[in-house]
Amino acid sequence: MTDTTASNTADSQPIISYKGFDKDFRCRGYQYAVGQTYTHDWGVDACVSGFHACPIPLSVFDYYLPAGSRFAIVEQWGEMDHENDKIASSNLTVKAEISLFDIIKAQIDWVWSNIKKDKDDAKSISSSGDQSVASNTGDYYAASCTGYWSVASNTGNYSAASVTGFESVAMVTGYESKAMASEGSWIAIVEHDKAGKIINFKTAQAGVAIKPDIFYRLKDGVFVIAETDDTEE
């Protein structure tokens, strides 16, 4: 998702990354545990050896699908080798297990952080550019992004969020809201009861679990196609 070239750095500063595991908290047969630190002593080579994790939160879904997997925030340091969207390191500490909601929130924070670091780049601050964010908090509002690795989010009630770029996320957390994503991207929807209490939260990848380019709601924990005329002003 980022640089496609590999680079190797010895004794680097610690970085925070995100790591996926199977249902037993294993990765490629290696057992991990929260709070534990692991050391690899015989060379680090991305995709070959070392402890691997992703600095961009949503990249973990390239290796572990949301369904049936577990995820954690980790700290990597020591010798590192970077290739594509993951980093191999000689040292890794599993800081905490996190939920899918945590990963999506971390992705939003990551995008905002990169926007602040590169705020003079027109693409970084545009809702139609790569790594962009469109966010709304009002009721009956819509947020949309067309760039790659972007996030469209809405916290208002009866709202909508949509993304058309590659590996992006459309997230809605308000009552009776809907989300749409292009093929390969994700939607994340919070379902509330009539009293406003959260009763379900679910994510899905367009083109896999749901159809692309169609708005969905979450009803009784199941994705249903939203009516074409609702939430529109």
Mark whether 41 and 111 lie in a shared domain: no
- Residue 34 CA to residue 148 CA, distance in Å, equals 32
- 7 or 2, which is more confident: 7
Q: Note the pLDDT of residue 192.
A: 86
What are residue 54's DSSP bridge partners? 18
Mark whether 196 and 181 lie in a shared domain: yes
At residue 146 the predicted structure's pLDDT band, cuts being 50, 70 and 90, is low
At residue 8 the predicted structure's pLDDT band, cuts being 50, 70 and 90, is low
- Residue 55 CA to residue 62 CA, distance in Å, equals 13
How many Cβ atoms sit within 10 Å of the Cβ of residue 81?
A: 23
Average pLDDT of the chain, as a whole number: 79
- Residue 164 CA to residue 158 CA, distance in Å, equals 21
Backbone φ and ψ for 26, nearest 5 degrees, come out as: -115, 150
Q: Note the pLDDT of residue 120.
A: 40
In this structure, what token pair is assigned to residue 90?
């000689």
233 within some domain: no
Q: Note the pLDDT of residue 140.
A: 61
232 within some domain: no
Q: Note the pLDDT of residue 219.
A: 93
- 190 or 144, which is more confident: 190
Q: Note the pLDDT of residue 114.
A: 56
CATH number of the domain encompassing residue 30: 3.20.170
52-102 pLDDT, tens per residue? 999 988 778 778 877 688 999 999 999 999 987 899 999 999 999 998 778
Total-model pTM = 0.58
What are residue 202's DSSP bridge partners? 189
Largest CA distance in the chain: 61
99-144 pLDDT, tens per residue? 877 887 787 677 666 544 443 433 322 344 444 555 555 556 666 7
**The last residue of a domain, from among 56, 75, 98:** 98
Please, are residues 93 and 33 in contact by the beta-carbon 8 Å criterion? no
Mark whether 219 and 122 lie in a shared domain: yes
Parent domain of 51 = 7-98
- 156 or 185, which is more confident: 185
Angle at 104 between CA 209 and CA 170, to 5 degrees: 55
Tally of domains in the chain: 2
